[in-house]
């Protein structure tokens, strides 16, 4: 139900050798909400998503999905439990078509029905138009839609999105965030969105969390953070 903590992160600490990238991070992502994690380059945002999804193993702390401790689960198990991670960089196979990229991306979740592909194409009509085009011909925005669509084929309950706005024109960012908002509002999807583009992220998110040097500085309603000029200037760059 909206408002319950679907994903809970408790005291998460991760390091790369001597570099501590996350230092005791505690946060919740509620069901049916968009939670935005903001902060400057190097704040630890990518490491947070990589630790939640099991790509980086934490030194301390826990990750719970629906109350179940998944901290040491295998990555495939996390996917089957309802978590999908869209890493930064929009990785697609350039020579394959849009349609082939979706099919390849769904291989590791068993049988995906035609309805599930159709649903992705309904959500992203732009991608449907380009389904037979090679992925290298897509614009950045189209690629971002493709990787989000590919993640949705796993029918996640929570989507972890790393910097989807990077390098995109503001109009395209607004379009993609608007589509995400619809998925959340209509289908109850939950989103943990990591962004350096704090202004755009706060305009679509319900809750905002500011990270700095691997620590949570503040957690509050997105609109409250948006109204806090001192915080914006200190941590959010606008």
> By the criterion CB under 6 A, which residues form the site for ligand ATP?
16, 19, 21, 39, 41-47, 196
Smallest gap from residue 49 Cβ to ligand ATP (A): 8
- What angle, 0 to 180 degrees and rounded to 10, lies between the N-to-C axes of helices 170-187 and 140-152? 20
Q: Which CB sits closer to ligand ATP, 117 or 235? A: 235
Which residue, among 179, 205, 184, has the nearest Cα to 194 in the 3D structure? Answer: 205
Q: Which CB sits closer to ligand ATP, 42 or 133? A: 42
Smallest gap from residue 163 Cβ to ligand ATP (A): 6
Smallest gap from residue 209 Cβ to ligand ATP (A): 12
Smallest gap from residue 47 Cβ to ligand ATP (A): 3
Smallest gap from residue 14 Cβ to ligand ATP (A): 8
Q: Which CB sits closer to ligand ATP, 20 or 62? A: 20
Q: Which CB sits closer to ligand ATP, 39 or 164? A: 39
Q: Which CB sits closer to ligand ATP, 41 or 132? A: 41
């Amino acid at each position: 139900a909206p408002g319950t903590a679907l994903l809970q992160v408790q005291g998460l600490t991760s390091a790369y050798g001597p570099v501590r990238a996350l230092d005791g991070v505690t946060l919740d992502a509620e069901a049916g909400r968009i939670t935005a994690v903001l902060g400057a380059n190097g704040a630890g945002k990518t490491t947070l998503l990589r630790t939640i999804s099991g790509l980086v193993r934490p030194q301390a702390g826990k990750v719970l999905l629906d109350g179940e401790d998944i901290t040491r689960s295998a990555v495939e198990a996390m996917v089957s439990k309802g978590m999908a991670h869209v890493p930064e960089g929009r990785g697609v196979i350039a020579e394959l078509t849009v349609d082939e990229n979706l099919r390849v991306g769904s291989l590791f979740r068993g049988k995906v029905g035609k309805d599930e592909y159709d649903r992705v194409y309904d959500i992203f009509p732009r991608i449907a138009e380009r389904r037979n085009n090679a992925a290298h011909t897509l614009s950045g925005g189209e690629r971002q839609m493709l990787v989000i669509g590919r993640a949705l084929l796993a029918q996640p309950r929570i989507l972890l999105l790393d910097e989807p706005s990077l390098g995109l024109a503001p109009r395209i960012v607004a379009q993609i965030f608007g589509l995400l908002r619809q998925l959340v509002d209509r289908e109850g999807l939950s989103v943990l969105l990591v962004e350096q583009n704090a202004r755009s992220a706060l305009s679509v998110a319900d809750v905002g969390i500011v990270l700095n040097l691997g620590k949570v500085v503040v957690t509050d309603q997105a609109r409250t953070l948006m109204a806090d000029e001192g915080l914006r200037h200190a941590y959010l760059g606008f």
